[in-house]
């Protein structure tokens, strides 16, 4: 285990906490759970309880260190630096960046993710060597980096939500917002295949109406089960003409248009 050292009180925005290095690797920074509890506005015993309930998820020496685990050097370090609150204290936990990210998944609240962005960008990723050999990033640049990271995470989240929705309208809107978060431009993704509604197919193959196209498609059995798609087309949700409710609509790929056209030609040949 690398040598632990307290580097003093750290400030990231309005957040103040005890900076600690070592323990998880040379110059790698760590945070006391008692500081994390204050930052998140929760009682220390509650954060400790959440950790203890999921203790098997935290790897000793990689994610977490318990100063009261029985190791004499660890206890001595905690005592010398005033990290032990009272004789009744059972655990004095220290988390690495990896351990803190695991705790966030357990807490899973808006405050957690807001704080995570600030701490990762402004504390965990800044090593001691950078402070000595390189000029500190100015506050405006740091805020810009933090903002870009937050927007990228937002875009990724929107993309995942879009991929889970069954509504094509909602999916396209979410994908556009995801693109805007990452690139700054609301670009609607281009569909990989050209699609046609029943009405558009009717015009292409000179059928009397979209309803006729639908009846032919049903007779041929080219529609996939809902929701789904095949080589002939796919199900999509579209707005009803008479209400705001979305209704399932079969959209035809080129192969589906060809199947309708071939069937019309076949039927025409039979009537000749």
Residues near 123 by Cβ (< 8 Å), separated by ≥ 6?
10, 12, 19, 29, 31
Which residue is it, tokens 């989240």? 157
pTM above 0.85, yes or no: no
Kind of pairing between the strands at 233-239 and 246-252: antiparallel
Q: How is 61-108 classified by DSSP, letter by letter?
A: TTTEEETTSS-HHHHHHHHHTT----TT----EEEEHHHHHHHHHHH-
Q: Is the link from the previous residue into 227 a cis peptide, with omega within 30 of 0?
A: yes
Distance CA 236, CA 233 (A): 10
Handedness of CA 172, 176, 177, 182 (dihedral sign): positive
DSSP structure class, residue 166: S
Query: pLDDT (tens digit, 0 to 9) for every residue of the chain, 272 residues total?
Result: 557 888 887 776 667 788 888 888 887 888 899 888 888 888 888 999 999 999 998 999 899 999 888 788 888 888 888 887 666 778 899 988 888 888 887 876 655 566 666 666 556 655 444 444 444 455 566 666 666 667 777 777 777 777 777 666 677 777 777 777 666 655 544 445 688 999 999 999 999 999 999 999 999 999 988 778 888 998 887 765 555 667 788 999 999 999 999 999 888 877 65
* Class of residue 154 by CB neighbours under 10 A (exposed 0-12, middle 13-18, buried 19+): middle
Q: What are phi and psi of 127, to 5 degrees?
A: -90, 165
């Amino acid at each position: 285990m690398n040598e632990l050292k307290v580097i003093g009180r750290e400030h990231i925005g309005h957040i103040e906490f005890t900076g600690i290095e070592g323990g998880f690797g040379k110059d790698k920074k760590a945070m006391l759970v008692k500081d994390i509890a204050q930052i998140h506005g929760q009682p220390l015993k509650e954060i400790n309880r959440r950790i203890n309930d999921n203790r098997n998820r935290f790897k000793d020496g990689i994610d977490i260190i318990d100063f009261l685990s029985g190791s004499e050097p660890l206890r001595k370090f905690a005592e010398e630096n005033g990290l032990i609150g009272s004789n009744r204290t059972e655990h004095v936990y220290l988390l690495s960046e990896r351990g803190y990210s695991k705790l966030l998944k357990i807490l899973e609240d808006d405050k957690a993710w807001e704080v995570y962005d600030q701490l990762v960008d402004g504390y965990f990723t800044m090593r001691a060597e950078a402070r000595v050999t390189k000029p500190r990033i100015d506050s405006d640049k740091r805020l810009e980096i933090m903002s870009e990271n937050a927007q990228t995470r937002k875009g990724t989240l929107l993309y995942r939500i879009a991929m889970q929705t069954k509504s094509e309208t909602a999916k396209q809107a979410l994908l556009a917002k995801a693109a805007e978060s990452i690139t700054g431009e609301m670009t609607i993704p281009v569909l990989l295949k050209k699609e046609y509604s029943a009405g558009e197919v009717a015009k292409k193959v000179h059928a009397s109406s979209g309803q006729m196209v639908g009846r032919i498609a049903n007779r041929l059995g080219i529609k996939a089960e809902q929701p789904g798609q095949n080589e002939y087309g796919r199900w999509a949700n579209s707005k009803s003409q008479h209400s705001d409710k979305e209704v399932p609509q079969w959209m035809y790929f080129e192969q589906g248009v060809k199947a309708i056209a071939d069937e019309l030609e076949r039927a025409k040949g039979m009537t000749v």
